[in-house]
Structures are given as C-alpha cells and as structure tokens.
C-alpha cells in the first residue's frame, strides 16, 4: 500500500497548533518573569526597610543580569566587576528612595546604565596616546567572546559586537535579559517605539550576519 506524502493543506492545518504552542510558551515565560520580578521587587522594598537577608537575596538574584548588561554596554570585560560593584553601591545609596513604582530590576539596570555612561565619559576625558581609536568605537568593538547558554556553538557575542551600540543594548535588554519593551525604554531613556524599532533592526541584522557566516567558505 502506497503512503502519500503530507499535503500542503495538512501542513497548513498543523501550523495553528504549532503557533498555539509557541504562544502558550511565551505566555508562560512572561508569567514566570512577572513572578520573579515581583519577588525581587519585594526583596528590594524589604531591604529598603533594613532587612539584611532580603538585601542579600536581592543582590544574588539580580547580579547575573547586571553583569551581563554591563559587559555588553561597556564593552570591557575586565572593568565589568568594578562597574557591577559601583552599580550596587549607587543602588544602596538610592534604596531609601525606591518606592517600587517600576520593578526593582528595571530600576537597578537604569542605575547600571548611568554607571557605565559615567565610566565611559571618564575614559574619554583621559589623555590617550596618539593614534588610539576613539573610545566609543573601541567600546563597541571590544565585546566579550562567547555567551554561556547559547546553543549550537554560535558565538552570539561576536555577532552582537557588530551591531550599532543602541540596537545591541535594546536587543540585550529585551531578548537576553527578558525586559518588556516598556521596561527597556525606561532603562535606555527613550520611547517604547524606539526600542521596538531597534530590536527589530537588530534581529534583521543578526539573521543576515548569521546567514553570511554560515555560507560555504565564509570566514576563510
């Protein structure tokens, strides 16, 4: 008995089910992030009121995201630890004024961004040898190599370093750190529509770069 291959109609009939599973996966992811953000924000509010155990939980829960963001934004893995420490020092000084209107993670990443900007401005103000590349261009090029957890051996960090800095920041905030577009807009101090546009352009560029790198003979 000859078995016929799946028809185009059969394949299209399966597509809504696959789309539904993907939508359900995304919904669960948003719910999990929402629960995590509420928990972290609760710890920050308790820490504001003097709960040392809550402060320790808050730092442990947020430190990986802060470090990843700082590394991608500053482009200097060696300076990352100092920048993370400075971020938390500033956060502790500001904690008495934290009211929980935004999530604690959004609030903390906003402080991290200001810390990195101040760091880069300080570097720009230092005398440098003639012929050294502009500090902004150098910061955009000097991204870390490799990103733990990225599958199939694709060096995402190497692709991200080839994006313009603002598109890279928007992509990291929303796609790697899981912030909503509204939260990313708060951190980056720009309209939500601007974040959406930067993320869309970053995705297009990354897909193009990935396709190019996978072409036969690419990279030598």
Give pLDDT tens digits along the chain (220 positions).
Answer: 454 545 555 555 566 666 677 777 777 777 788 888 999 999 999 999 999 999 999 999 999 999 989 988 887 778 889 999 999 999 999 999 999 988 999 999 999 999 988 887 777 666 544 433 333 333 334 334 343 333 333 456 777 888 888 998 898 888 888 888 999 999 999 999 999 999 999 988 888 887 776 555 555 4
What φ, ψ does residue 2 adopt, rounded to 5°?
-85, 130
Classify residue 36 by burial, with Cβ atoms within 10 Å: 0-12, 13-18, 19+: middle
Cβ contacts of 21-25, under 8 Å, gap ≥ 24: none
- Residue whose structure tokens are 């920041």: 169
What is the Cα–Cα distance from 99 to 181, expressed in whole angstroms? 21
pTM of the model: 0.64
């Amino acid at each position: 008995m000859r078995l016929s291959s799946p028809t185009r109609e059969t394949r299209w009939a399966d597509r809504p089910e696959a789309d539904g599973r993907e939508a359900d996966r995304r919904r669960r992811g948003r719910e999990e992030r929402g629960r995590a953000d509420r928990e972290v924000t609760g710890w920050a509010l308790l820490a504001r009121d003097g709960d040392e155990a809550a402060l320790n939980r808050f730092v442990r829960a947020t430190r990986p995201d802060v470090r990843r963001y700082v590394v991608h934004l500053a482009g200097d893995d060696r300076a990352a630890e100092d920048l993370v420490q400075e971020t938390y020092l500033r956060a502790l000084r500001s904690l008495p004024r934290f009211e929980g209107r935004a999530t604690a993670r959004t609030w903390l990443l906003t402080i991290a961004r200001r810390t990195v900007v101040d760091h880069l401005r300080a570097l720009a103000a230092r005398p440098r040898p003639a012929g050294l590349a502009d500090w902004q261009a150098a910061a955009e090029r000097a991204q870390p190599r490799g990103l733990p957890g990225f599958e199939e051996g694709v060096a995402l960090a190497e692709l991200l370093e080839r994006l313009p800095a603002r598109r890279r920041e928007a992509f990291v905030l929303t796609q790697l750190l899981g912030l909503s577009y509204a939260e990313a807009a708060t951190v980056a101090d720009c309209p939500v529509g601007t974040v959406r546009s930067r993320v869309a352009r970053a995705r297009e560029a990354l897909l193009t770069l990935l396709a190019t790198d996978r072409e036969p003979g690419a990279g030598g």
